[in-house]
Amino acid sequence: MDILDWENPALTHRGRLPARAYFFGHPDPDGARAGVREESRGFVSLSGPWRFRFFGHPRRVPASFADEEQPGWDEVTVPHLWQLDGYGQLVYTDEGYPFPVDEPRVPADNPTGAYQRIVTLTAPAPGEQVLLRFDGVESYAEVFLNGAFVGMTKGSRLAAEFDVTRLVRDGDNLFAVRVLQFSDATYVEDQDMWWASGIFRDVYLVTRPAARLTDFFARTRIDGGAAVVDVTVWAEGTERVDLTLGLAGEPVASASAAPGGTATLRVDAPRLWNPEEPVLYDLLLTVVGADGAASEHVGHRLGLREVTIVDGTLRLNGSYFMMHGVNRHDHDERRGRAVTMERVRRDLELMKRHNINAVRTAHYPNDPRFYGMCDEIGLLVVAETDVETHGFDLVGDLSRITDDPAWEATFVDRIERHVLAQRNHASVVMWSLGNESGDGCNIAAMYGRARELDPTRPVHYEEDRNAAVVDVISTMYSRVSQMADLGEHPMGKPRILCEYGHAMGNGPGGLSEYQAVFDRYESIQGHFIWEWIDHGLRSEAPDGRVRHLYGGDFGDFPNNSNFCIDGLVFPWQEPSPGLVEYAQVICPVRVSHVDGDVVVENRRWFTDLADVRVAVSETHDGVEIAATTLVPGAVGPGETWRTPLGLTPGDGERLLTFTVTSVAEHDWAASGHVLGRYQSEPVPGASPAQSGRSTQESRPGAAPPDVRLGDHLYISTRAGELAFDPISGDLTAWRSGGRDLIAAPLRIGFWKPLIDNHAQENERLWRPRHLSDLRTSVRSVDWRVEDGAVVIDVEARIAPPALGFGMQVSWVWRVTGDGAATVAVRGRAEGDYRDIVPRIGLSFEAPGDLRRVAWYGRGPGENYPDSRAAAPIGVWASDVDSMFTPYVVPQDCGNRGDVRWAEFADDAGRGLRVTGGEPFHFSAWPYTCADIDRAAHPTDLVARDTVTVNLNHAVLGLGSNSWGSEVLDGYRVRFDDFAFNLTLCPISQEA
């Protein structure tokens, strides 16, 4: 039996040209410097409409498709993924291959797309070269032009270029491409994303002149106070290439080189590239023709910088640095991986606005324009190539093909093409050989080839965990304690945490503790959150409501459900609370208040604080009483600045809030953009924090309440009437100011809607113990009048069915004549369960019009005990709908912590106010807990005519244990003895 090309790992292509740097020739120097490829010499875009037909088997594609028009076929717009246009089956898996493992073979019924496009062209002049380039095709493509076979390529996220000079003719030209979804290449492209196929990046033609540049390699070394740039050039049809290096339109160095030779450009007093000040010089390469005239001009924006390893640490231009990073997949909510560059740009600008300085291209090369954007915007890139064999883990042999010499060509081809394409980019600080592919001989071969092609950069690969081969040590999802141990015992090479903080759903938590470890140990030089964006695919219901689909929603099997919904950014490119938290944790300027001084620390690596302003607000009980702005000045990297600033005497709780901004203006952020916020430790006042609204509780001289016993215990106060059930002890009704304040009784609870990051705890601890279905058995209800108040004592046991553990609880209501109702709750644990629970607190239903919320506590956004750095204490206002975070999979959300008081009011300002004996947590939803737990998508939720209010004594931290770190000990809530109290009272709009 013949070996099929798409099942032969030793064959990586037919007719494909060697990889090279990404560049275009222009007729004049100004055009070359501008770098607009659509205006380059001989550029013809082939993106746009193509005829298309989907087949279930490669051999079902008619042979005539290569040389005959197929007018009856459908039309699609390239770039695209055909599954998102309604052809074939979308599948999501995290690691498993979507077919039986039988490497290098793939299913015979291999989904296949056939493409055709007719383009009117002019035949090339003598000596000219016409290149056909695909920037991304998944996973195997055969290319034809005018009926002739051009070539074949594998390597989905790597560019493929073909010489079609001899095949282009005057007039109409028929381009035909046969794309197979699966091939032997699929076994190294199992990268935790949607399995989808097609021509998903741009395709275009470029006509090159007879005298032309074919490649170049620029590298910089620092020599004292100068930058020395060595540029090797390769060219055809010429004996000389002239090079000029300029800045802001002024030339600073020039030289010439013969093809295959190297020119050296020396720049004195250079402005070196770094992610905080990404200065780019204009490198102009001019190819001189046989007649002595310029044949073409090629431009490249070059950052002058040098990456070295000194004493086991990475240095950029001789300076230590740390990468505060994210892992980024290409994803568009409508187009999947067929992303537009406008969307890519928005991703990168969002990163910069959230203090991120590094990105790992997980787990494949990006569109070639991505790297130029990172050069320009200032992002460090861990440039990963197109390799992951994760599916072999499910057959118990992750290294199966990684350690098989028969696959060496496949592995080495992918790093070779990647390095050759991107090695001129300043932003690329290290190469990465791939992800989760085990270890073996092919990793060593890849490393050798990468260093041969580019000796200037270190190489990373996480599975080589002791860096026996590579230059940078790496792990993923190491816990905080593990990272501390690794930092305590460095291994003589730089270390990064290439994945951590799994951002699935609500989370991640614990980032501040991670960052404290990173900051403590110099050998830890990078950390990359998994991951940047949720991979949800937009779906619109007939009524216009929008949801985002994930594994299983397309009938795909096997699937990993919503494991692809694990980003810091929602599918529509809105930052999640997790991204807001991360931005604060990695803020490059730190502010503290120490012994009466404001201390400003520069946590940047390369630039000073001349652009930084620190706005200071002093509040008493959340009300601002003084404000000023501090200008630290040119504080250098790693340095601090101090100035005295005391607190104004007063009775209320006193706080200093510091808002750090930058007056620098960038394409990605306006002057005045916020870098971060900090607060001093609260100084307690002599009186409790009060809201500005009038409460019945605060009015003196109230008469004792009246009591009437009927089917309920009715308690009349100056502010209204409360009704308690004498059997259950429930507060069943409360009216004040002509309206109801509650719609259902208060209940003690330990459950809240499950979040993704607690799924493992649920499976291991909570589900077996029926924690979501605890039952309350009230054993006694007593009431009495005491010291001018009505006191109701309730004793009960809360426990799961079928099991022996539980919680003996008592809650004591005290209702006073001014209308206030205080509830003191105590619990005593029984039985053998003392492990973690989601929360300890009270919940009740409020009338649906009590939707206006104000509070004094952490805000304005969602925050949790281990994710609150971005939530300063203050007085905030919102509404119930806005406080419900739109996670792709509904789950617990909207918590506000360290709350002194909270109010729930209608549009007239009437409602209920809650204060605590100590700070508490609250959340408010337009749904019930059960509604949220049942929902797979937001469209499954139907708003109730009530509001669920949760008043929690303790809330379990988030952690990131959907894949990673459990909740740290300091943020755990255990099923153990507890006590707390809250006071509820009516409010009005009166002054």
Side-chain half-sphere CA neighbours of 79 within 13 A: 22
335 pLDDT above the threshold of 80: yes
Q: How far is CA 267 from CA 149, 230, 284, in A?
A: 48, 11, 15
Please tell me the distance from the alpha carbon of residue 734 to that of residue 722, in angstroms, as a whole number.
4
Q: What pLDDT score does 429 carry?
A: 98
SS3 961: coil
Task: Give the DSSP letter string of 458-527.
Answer: -EE-TTSTT-SSSSBEEEES--HHHHHHHHHS--SS-EEEEEES---SS----HHHHHHHHHH-TTEEEE
Task: Give the DSSP letter string of 376-410.
Answer: HHT-EEEEE-S-EEGGGGGGT-TTTTTT-GGGHHH
Please tell me the distance from the alpha carbon of residue 120 to that of residue 168, in angstroms, as a whole number.
10
Q: Residue 697 — very low, low, confident or very high, per pLDDT cuts 50/70/90? A: very low
Please return the burial class of 701, using the count of CB atoms within 10 Å of its CB with bins 0-12, 13-18 and 19+.
exposed
701 pLDDT above the threshold of 70: no
For the question of whether the overall pTM of this predicted structure is more than 0.95, the answer is yes
Please tell me the distance from the alpha carbon of residue 362 to that of residue 327, in angstroms, as a whole number.
6
Which residues have a catalytic role annotated? 436, 499
**Rg, the chain, Cα only:** 32
For the segment 227-269, what is each residue's pLDDT rounded down to a tens digit?
Answer: 999 999 999 999 999 999 999 999 999 999 999 999 999 999 9
Please tell me the distance from the alpha carbon of residue 283 to that of residue 219, in angstroms, as a whole number.
12
Per-residue DSSP letter, 544: S
- Name the token pair of 758: 């607690």
Whether residue 531 is preceded by a cis peptide bond, meaning omega within 30 degrees of 0, is: yes
User: Mean pLDDT for the chain?
Assistant: 96
For the segment 367-380, what is each residue's pLDDT rounded down to a tens digit?
Answer: 999 999 999 999 99
Nearest to 368, CA basis, from 616, 584, 98, 158: 158
Q: Residue 688 — very low, low, confident or very high, per pLDDT cuts 50/70/90? A: low
Q: How much of the chain exceeds pLDDT 90, in percent?
A: 96
Nearest to 662, CA basis, from 615, 616, 612, 614: 612
**How many CB atoms are located within 10 Å of the residue 125 CB?**
9
Angle between helices 341-353 and 368-377 (to 10 degrees): 30
Q: Is 745 in contact with 776 (CB distance < 8 Å)?
A: no
Nearest to 600, CA basis, from 576, 628, 636: 636
- Name the token pair of 876: 């905030």
Helix (H) or strand (E) holding 30: helix 29-34
For the segment 783-817, what is each residue's pLDDT rounded down to a tens digit?
Answer: 999 999 999 999 999 999 999 999 999 999 999 99
First to last CA, the chain: 90
Q: What pLDDT score does 145 carry?
A: 98
For the segment 640-659, what is each residue's pLDDT rounded down to a tens digit?
Answer: 999 999 899 988 999 999 99
- Name the token pair of 157: 């996220």
SS3 789: strand
| Burial readout 830-858 (b: 16 or more C-beta within 10 A, e: otherwise) | eeebeebbbbbbbbbbbbebbbbbbbbbb
Query: In terms of DSSP bridges, do strands 473-476 and 495-500 run parallel, antiparallel, or are they unpaired?
Result: parallel
**How many CB atoms are located within 10 Å of the residue 881 CB?**
12
Q: How far is CA 864 from CA 533, 751, 792, 938, in A?
A: 21, 16, 33, 22
- Name the token pair of 704: 């004792």
Please tell me the distance from the alpha carbon of residue 696 to that of residue 700, in angstroms, as a whole number.
9
Q: Residue 412 — very low, low, confident or very high, per pLDDT cuts 50/70/90? A: very high
Q: Residue 541 — very low, low, confident or very high, per pLDDT cuts 50/70/90? A: confident
Domains of the chain: 13-208 (2.60.120.260), 212-307 (2.60.40.10), 357-461 (no CATH), 588-679 (2.60.40.10), 750-838+849-987 (2.70.98.10)
Phi, psi of 179 (to 5 degrees): -115, 125
Please tell me the distance from the alpha carbon of residue 269 to that of residue 169, in angstroms, as a whole number.
52
87's CB contacts (< 8 A; 6+ apart) are 52, 54, 113
In the chain, how many H helices and how many E strands?
10, 63
368's CB contacts (< 8 A; 6+ apart) are 22, 135, 159, 421, 422
Q: How far is CA 695 from CA 117, 735, 737, 881, 923, in A?
A: 74, 15, 12, 25, 21
Helix (H) or strand (E) holding 410: helix 408-422
Q: How much of the chain exceeds pLDDT 70, in percent?
A: 98
Q: Is 937 in contact with 951 (CB distance < 8 Å)?
A: no
544's CB contacts (< 8 A; 6+ apart) are none
For the chain, give the number of residues.
991
186 pLDDT above the threshold of 50: yes
Q: What pLDDT score does 698 carry?
A: 44
Q: CA torsion 346→349→350→354, rounded to 10°?
A: 180
Q: What pLDDT score does 382 carry?
A: 98
Beta bridge partners, 790, equal: 785, 815
Q: What pLDDT score does 690 carry?
A: 58
Q: What pLDDT score does 687 carry?
A: 57
Helix (H) or strand (E) holding 294: strand 294-302
Q: Residue 704 — very low, low, confident or very high, per pLDDT cuts 50/70/90? A: very high
Task: State the residue for tokens 């101090």.
Answer: 642
- Name the token pair of 511: 């980032």
Beta bridge partners, 915, equal: 901, 983
Q: Residue 693 — very low, low, confident or very high, per pLDDT cuts 50/70/90? A: low
Q: Is 275 in contact with 380 (CB distance < 8 Å)?
A: yes
